[in-house]
A and B are shown apart, each in its own frame.
Chain A
Amino acid sequence: MPNMQTSLEDLIGIEHSKLGFFQELRHKLEEIKRSNQELEDQRREILAILDGITDLMMVLSEDLRIISVNHVFREMIPDPEPEGKYCYTIFRGEDHPCPECPAFRSLSSNSVCRATAIFKLSDRNMRFDMVASPLKNPDWPQHRVLIFKRDVTLEKEYQAKFYQAEKMATIGVLAAGVAHEVNNPLAAVVGFAEGIKRRLPQLERTIDGELYGDLKEYTDTILKECLRCRDIVKTLLTFSRHAPASLSLVALNSVVSDTLRLLQHELSKRSGIQIKMELEESLPVIKGNEAQLKQVVLNLLTNALDAIKDSGCITVRTFLERGARLCLEIRDTGCGIPPEHLDKLFEPFFTTKPVGKGIGIGLSTCYNIVHDHGGSIQVSSNSGQGSSFTVVLPLSEECALEESL
């Protein structure tokens, strides 16, 4: 029995009053405040997580209208108000969805779908990996789809460069082997040809003068061609040699002017060609192998000369890029390089010159030398308008340090 302890004091109930809802309301308010605070904290946390996502993100309606976007989108896309516009209008400037779009697949299959595509954004071709996830909520009038776009332009570039380097290294090893194998028989051929040449005078009186003349010419040709072979083999061996060349402090500008002097003879023969020098003064010195760098400059200049038929202009420019890299640009107004050749330029034995004029080893040698110096060669070309080769070399650490001071 619950009421056994009731007392007279209980009946008076001094400390008991008719309970009102005020306190109840206060409790409720506090509860709501607390849960509101919790929700707010959660919201901030989710917001922070979303802000931490470095991929471009957007939520689209079923017909690909943008519902919301994240900060990466706003940084990447200049449109101040993308909401309500169609995704394909913004990314492609089209009036219909792109055929490869993963959003439709994702919605129809109710699963996460991926695709890769190239978009031209602010005049730059950018490669994106796209992930589409369906967002379905029975309370929404129609389904939505969440799209992530990850900029993989650089990644793909690096991947291509890595692939190229790998290939070059393999070919280098291959070339070295071949060169080595050819060297010994070549030495024998040269030796015997010289032997013949030494003995020829003894024959001069005994055989017909015409025959003697032929034999002498053949022997000379054999020797000349053998020497050419030896040069090729030597170049191949240089190309493949990975032993570090001796390094010294090198001034890029003097490398350029020395090399030009070597070409003076060739240039004097071609009066239609104008050489423009734009050398930036007081460039920092770099650590490198002067002879090898001269070879690079020579090669590039020779190529430029070859690209120009009758008359044109070659611009040689040196400059400091972003304070940490030294650049040498050799630009010609020659025939240019067709786009399909751009990828193969640096491969050994790739050449467009007629047989006998080049064996396609120059640029690949340049590539290796520059690569060994920790730098890179960039090419841009417009067919029929000319090409530009830029050698980018890193400053040695001390130089970079001085520069930054």
Chain B
Amino acid sequence: MDTSKFAIPEIIFGHGAIKHVAQCALRLGARRVLVVSDHGLERAGWVEKLFDILAYDGLEWVYFNDVSQNPRDYQVHNGAEIYLEEKADVVIALGGGSPLDMAKGIATIAGNGGRIDDYEGANRIMRPLPPMIFVPSTAGSGSDISQFCIITDMQRQVKMSIISRSLVPNISIIDPDLLLTKPPELVVSSAIDALSHAIESYVSKLASPFTENQALNAIKIIITHLEPAVETRSVHHLEQLSIASTWAGMSFSNASLGAVHALAHSLGGVSDIPHGLVHPILLPAVMRYNMPECLEKMATIGNIILGPCIRSRQDLAAMGIDQLGEFFKSFGVPVHMREIAPDDSKLEHICRMALQDACMLTNPRDADWKDLLGICLEAW
């Protein structure tokens, strides 16, 4: 690729940054906003806090919380209907990847009409979306930065990738304080999600100097700070994970991803597995498959994971991948596919579906469905 492109939203970062949300909305012309969030954030009290901020600045709001962990097409349509019926004018999403992607889907339909599967693929959104303000709570999804939106088509049992620069939110407000209330499992799975974003986008065919730096920084920070963050839950470490997740988001939004995400989307379409659980299982296997095509970059990653040491590029790469598997195991997350997938009867179907995912385009090494099946069996 001779020409690259790098686009990110306005980013407001800092402890307590959430307090700016109403002012941001007002600047975007809001009078009556649609708030998208979920029960987890309600329980943690953040939804209430957001309402207080909106009320303080005299904004009206409509609340939508019918969000599955993998957002579904009909939920998007319901949300868009509410947005239009209630004459809302700005979308504010608070939460992890699911509410954020849900908000993107709602905004797409609100601005363009039709059904959400009309926009599956790249650059099919032809009309502007309502302004979007995202407040991520997981330090992982990157949805608050990216041009991607993943929605499950319930009839086809597939997670659709909708890609458009219009899906990049107007403003991303990243407040590390939101991570303080997250259960440790969620901190871990989000961080591994972010790590997966960073690694896949780093070796992506579309990686550019503008994304590679972000990706490497993200990898470095997550490897360094995840363990202390889980152990100490100190603000400092959680903040670092936040920064890493944002960097990873910047990278993958512009360089895209690879086979791990293609498979994860396919798998998530067939069975409602939490997105974060898939990465520790698939990432090492995919890296091994890709290694011949991007040895240099894999070695660089290995160097980060292994710490300072003198090895051949080949060894650095291979040992780095092994070490990554150990790293995942240390957090007690599933590392075998059999632990999360119901049975292996659908594997072929999953691999064939994954081939059609837009993320496969940027995977450094070409693969057919058998190659993917090989990866799955290795991870089984």
Contacts and interface: CB of A to CB of B under 8 A. Distances in A.
Interface string A1-39: 111111110111110111111011000000000000000
Interface residues of B, number: 32
A12 B1 contact: yes
Interface in B166-205: 166, 168, 205
Contact of A14 (B3, B120, B122, B168): B3
Given A13-B165, A18-B166, A18-B168, A8 B3 contact: no
Given A8-B206, A12-B5, A17 B165 contact: yes
B3 A12 contact: yes
Nearest to B3: A14
B290 interface: no
Contact of B361 (A7, A16, A18, A24): A7
A19 B123 contact: no
Nearest to B255: A11
A13 B123 contact: yes
B256 A11 contact: yes
Nearest to B160: A3
Interface string A168-189: 0000000000000000000000
Interface string B333-371: 000000000000000000000001010011000000000
A6 B121 contact: yes
A16 B122 CA distance: 10
B interface: dominant SS: loop
A16 B167 CA distance: 11
Given A8-B1, A8-B361, A13-B5, A2 B165 contact: no
B165 A6 contact: no
A389 to B, nearest CB: 83
Interface in B152-173: 160-161, 163-166, 168
Contacts of A10: 121-123, 163
B30 to A, nearest CB: 14
Contacts of A14: 3, 5
Nearest to A4: B356
Contacts of A1: 120, 356
A7 B123 CA distance: 11
B51 to A, nearest CB: 27
B165 A21 contact: no
A23 B111 CA distance: 13
Given A8-B1, A13-B147, A14-B5, 16 more contacts: A3-B358, A5-B121, A11-B163, A11-B256, A11-B358, A11-B362, A12-B3, A12-B4, A12-B206, A13-B123, A16-B164, A17-B165, A18-B7, A20-B128, A21-B128, A23-B128
Interface of B: 1, 3-5, 7, 117-118, 120-129, 147, 160-161, 163-166, 168, 205-206, 256, 356, 358, 361-362
List the 5 shortest-distance A-B pairs measured between CB atoms, nearest first.
A3-B121, A10-B122, A19-B128, A6-B122, A16-B123
